[in-house]
Amino acid sequence: MRTKILTTILLVAVGIARPQESSGQEDDGLWRKASTTHRQAEYPKIHPDGRVWFEFEAPHAESVQVRIAGTSYEMEKDDEGVWSAIVPYPGPGYRSYVMVVDSLVVQDPQSHMYFQNGWASVLEMPSPDEDFYEMKHVPHGDVREHWIYSDITESFRRMFVYTPPGYDDSAARYPVLYLQHGGGETEAEWTHAGRANFILDNLIAEGRVVPMIVVMNNGFVTPAEGRPQPPQNQGWIAFEEFLLDEVIPDIEANFRTIPDREHRAMAGLSMGSIQTFDIVLGNLDMFSYLGSFSPPFMAVGPTVEEALTMGPEVNDRLHAFWLSAGTEEQSIYDATTDVIERLTEVGIETDFYESPGTAHEWQTWRRSLYRFAPLLFQE
């Protein structure tokens, strides 16, 4: 059996140059606020050539740097105590950054924030020839904040549920994708940083995907006292019981789903990709699609060995066994391709997508969802 390598070439050089850092600040009238810049702020600004103009007020500081895309840039101070710098194009999509003020790392109050191992300032950068995750003039679905009381945790838990355009105006039933975040995030980030709802809206409008419900949960589950506890710092392991015993029954009771394995899929990124790998392969009577984005196989021991013992039976049960990694997340990319080779040796066929030029970041996962979703629930 062969593994299919799905590679998309992204010509970043087209439309956005990569100039050197500018030591001076100039306004040629082309600078525009980033979409992630606060409505009451003016900076950061982005130039059509890809440069970013940062400003930061710290009149008593001795030095200020902006740290973005793994590089620190010195900022210059004016007579009013405002520091500024123009930096080269940091790459496409969500870019987290910090300000370093006299060695103290702080967030920039002028930008939106997202949660990844703590709150971080973010900058949404344009990507040449990629607009599949932008809001467009198409029918839009809804993202609902849905609460459930969990007997496992003895607490209320929140999930986000995407319902496709027209859901409230019909009696139709829909297939369901259970979509999980990574280890540093929450249930909010697939729609906040990942823009999963816009990706699905656009694909549905293009007729490329079957309209579906998407359910996003917090992958960390701590059972209540008196219940079996997962190993220390591995609360994500208990998520399987929560998903199978509480989430799926609740979703099927409260939303118009098609409640069978043929119409149930699961995918996730990083930690969520390992949860997906383990849960789906351990419950092939419940799921028929598996999407594993940037799986950290080298750090966590998933059920790879169990999958190897199943051999071609896996393909008989799964309509899609799909994995992805960014070409710049080297250890994860290498570990993923190694696992794929082992699966191939025992007759398990997988699809693999490599995201060119991206690392362990949201642009990798946006691209992954964009390519995985059209495979789901097709006749």
* Residue 43 C-beta-side C-alpha neighbours within 13 Å: 17
Identify whether 230 is part of a domain: yes
Identify whether 21 is part of a domain: no
Domain residue limits at 271: 142-375
> 161 and 277 share a domain?
yes
> 205 and 330 share a domain?
yes
From 125, 150, 184, the end of a domain falls on 125
> 186 and 323 share a domain?
yes
> 180 and 235 share a domain?
yes
Strand-pairing partners, residue 119, are 115
Identify whether 14 is part of a domain: no
> 337 and 223 share a domain?
yes
**Contact criterion met (CB below 8 Å) for 237 and 231:** yes
> 148 and 119 share a domain?
no
Q: Is 77 helix (H, G, I), strand (E, B) or coil?
A: strand
> 94 and 147 share a domain?
no
Identify whether 308 is part of a domain: yes
Residue 348's contacts (CB-CB under 8 Å, 6 or more residues apart) are 1, 307, 308, 310, 311, 312, 314, 315, 321
pLDDT of the chain along its 379 residues, tens only?
434 333 332 323 333 333 334 445 667 889 999 999 999 999 999 999 999 999 999 999 999 999 999 999 999 999 999 999 999 999 999 999 999 999 999 999 999 998 888 888 999 999 988 999 999 999 999 999 999 999 999 999 999 999 999 999 999 999 999 999 999 899 999 999 999 999 999 999 999 999 999 999 999 999 998 888 887 767 778 899 999 999 999 999 999 999 999 999 999 999 999 999 999 999 999 999 999 999 998 765 556 888 888 899 999 999 999 999 999 999 999 999 999 999 999 999 999 999 999 999 999 999 999 999 999 999 7
**Contact criterion met (CB below 8 Å) for 190 and 273:** no
**60 φ/ψ angles, rounded to the nearest 5 degrees:** -100, 0
From 70, 94, 125, the end of a domain falls on 125
Can you tell me the distance from the alpha carbon of 17 to that of 12, in angstroms, rounded to the nearest whole number? Answer: 8
pLDDT of residue 93: 94
> 289 and 319 share a domain?
yes
> 170 and 80 share a domain?
no
Q: Is 236 helix (H, G, I), strand (E, B) or coil?
A: helix
CB neighbour burial string for 253-283, b if at least 16 within 10 angstroms, e if fewer: eebebbeeeebbbbbbbbbbbbbbbbbbbee
Strand-pairing partners, residue 234, are none
Identify whether 187 is part of a domain: yes
Identify whether 2 is part of a domain: no
> 299 and 179 share a domain?
yes
CATH no. for residue 175? Answer: 3.40.50.1820
pTM over 0.75: yes
Number of domains in the chain: 2
> 242 and 274 share a domain?
yes
> 208 and 265 share a domain?
yes
